Amino acid sequence: MKLLINGIWHSSHPDSAQLQTERNRVRTQFFRNWITADASSGYKAEPDRYHLYVSYACPYAHRAILIRKLKKLENIISMSVLSPDWGSPQGWTFASWTDATTDDVNGHDYLYQVYQQAKPDFTGKVTVPVLWDKQKGTIVNYESAEILRMLNCEFNTFGDATIDFYPKDLREEIDQLNDFIGDRISDGVYHAGFASSQEAYDSAVERLFNALNTLEQSLEHKPYLTGDRLTEADLRLFTTLVRFDAVYYTALHCNLQRLADYPNLWNYTRRIYHLPGVAETVKFDHIKRHYFDTYEGIINRRIIPKGPQIDFEL
Ligand SMILES: N[C@@H](CCC(=O)N[C@@H](CS)C(=O)NCC(=O)O)C(=O)O
């Protein structure tokens, strides 16, 4: 496992129950701040103050890229893009690649150095996305769900206030959908792909495709998950579905069916893809490079995939 332990970078460290407990403790205690429009949190929503570190490969970082685009915050919140190669000993790296950038804010070569700068004794994985505060010189937050919510709700003075992806009357439904999508689908593809035993893989795949079947049915008579309006839940689902056939079906062995075999989910994903601005946030060269090239040793190649379902008798 690649991670920082007490601020020291490790390129290959075994996991342990103790380390996991410590990572979970840190995860709830640090870098979970909120930017607010009224400055009550100490992090005021304002232009030119915040910066995103992202990868076009990652579905979680994609949530941040997408909301920045759809809320028209590109001139308000700056962004650095890491190379899709995560396989080097240093993990996420700033390196030459189409549409990747350097770290113009802090001048680092690796993302772990951004974490070290924010908290010199940090323990945990070094993940994207990261929301950085240029004024305080620290990480505000590194949970994509919270970044998505903040950028939707707190920057209306500067971005497009006419669209709201978390409207009051739909919040309960959106929260329920987010829980379902996060656990069963967004994380579900990784549970299948990174399973260390055949049994774990088999049950993860079954759970994932059961969830996809549920959503396929629910989209039978409506364009978006809650009805006519595009919400946060759709954005979260989209960033996983758009990667499905390109990498999850193949590289992560989620191959019972392609997304293209689900009429409703396929149309739904294409519908969102063709909304203004969305296609520009999807970079298949980054996505493929990341999933096929960098998970050596993490994906168990001895696991036998469930699919594809082919019937030669037909
Ligand atoms: N909970 C985080 C998860 C982000 C995450 O897992 N990002 C992956 C890329 S898809 C990552 O950076 N992984 C690095 C690692 O596991 O060391 C979020 O939703 O923001």
* Radius of gyration for the alpha carbons in the chain, expressed in angstroms and rounded: 19
Q: Which of 128, 181, 288 to mutate to test the pocket of ligand 1 (most atoms within 8 A of CB)?
A: 128
- Cα(31) to ligand 1 centroid in Å equals 14
Q: Which residue ranges make up each domain of the chain?
A: 3-153, 168-293
The Cα 235–Cα 238 span in angstroms is: 5
pLDDT tens-digit readout, 55-103: 999 999 999 999 999 999 999 999 999 999 999 999 999 999 999 999 9
pLDDT tens-digit readout, 172-181: 999 999 999 9
Looking at the CA of residue 129, tell me the nearest atom of ligand 1.
Answer: 20
On the question of pLDDT at 237 being above 90, the answer is yes
- Cα(256) to ligand 1 centroid in Å equals 25
Question: Quick one: tokens of 215?
Answer: 């959503």
Find out whether the peptide bond into 47 is cis, omega within 30 degrees of 0: no
Question: Quick one: tokens of 159?
Answer: 């971005």
Selection from 97, 100, 98, 140 nearest residue 118 by Cα = 140
Selection from 96, 135, 93, 95 nearest residue 114 by Cα = 93
Q: Which fold has domain 168-293?
A: Glutathione S-transferase Yfyf (Class Pi); Chain A, domain 2 (1.20.1050)
Q: Is 239 left (phi over 0), alpha (psi -120 to 50) or beta?
A: alpha
The Cα 282–Cα 132 span in angstroms is: 23
Selection from 149, 165, 178 nearest residue 35 by Cα = 149
| Region 18-25 average pLDDT | 95
Selection from 289, 308, 290 nearest residue 205 by Cα = 308
Q: Higher-confidence residue: 24 or 302? A: 24
Selection from 285, 312, 275 nearest residue 55 by Cα = 285
Question: Quick one: tokens of 152?
Answer: 């939707």
The Cα 281–Cα 173 span in angstroms is: 26
pLDDT tens-digit readout, 117-132: 999 999 999 999 999 9
On the question of pLDDT at 141 being above 90, the answer is yes
Q: Higher-confidence residue: 211 or 298? A: 211
The CATH homologous superfamily to which domain 3-153 belongs is: Glutaredoxin (3.40.30.10)
Looking at the CA of residue 57, tell me the nearest atom of ligand 1.
Answer: 10
| Region 29-33 average pLDDT | 96
Atom 13, ligand 1: residue with shortest CA distance: 127
Measure the CA angle with vertex 204, ends 201 and 206; round to 5°.
Answer: 110
In this structure, are residues 314 and 79 in contact, taking their beta carbons and an 8 Å threshold? no
The Cα 153–Cα 163 span in angstroms is: 10
Q: What's the pLDDT score for residue 311?
A: 82
Atom 1, ligand 1: residue with shortest CA distance: 143
**Mean of the per-residue pLDDT values for the chain?**
96
Q: What's the pLDDT score for residue 300?
A: 80
Selection from 149, 150, 110, 145 nearest residue 129 by Cα = 145
- Helix, strand, or coil (residue 123): coil
Q: What's the pLDDT score for residue 221?
A: 95
Q: What's the pLDDT score for residue 149?
A: 98
Going from the C-alpha of 224 to that of each of 43, 160, 241, the distances in angstroms are 33, 21, 14
- Cα(166) to ligand 1 centroid in Å equals 23
Residues annotated as part of the active site? 58, 190
- Cα(228) to ligand 1 centroid in Å equals 31
pLDDT tens-digit readout, 283-304: 999 999 999 888 877 788 789 9
The Cα 39–Cα 52 span in angstroms is: 19
The Cα 284–Cα 215 span in angstroms is: 24
Question: Quick one: tokens of 163?
Answer: 């669209």
Count CB neighbours of 199 within 10 A: 10
Measure the CA angle with vertex 73, ends 70 and 74; round to 5°.
Answer: 100
The Cα 227–Cα 268 span in angstroms is: 12
Question: Quick one: tokens of 83?
Answer: 């190379």
pLDDT tens-digit readout, 156-168: 999 999 999 999 9
| Region 134-160 average pLDDT | 98
One-letter amino acid of 264:
N
On the question of pLDDT at 260 being above 80, the answer is yes
Q: What's the pLDDT score for residue 295?
A: 81
Selection from 206, 231, 4, 225 nearest residue 121 by Cα = 4
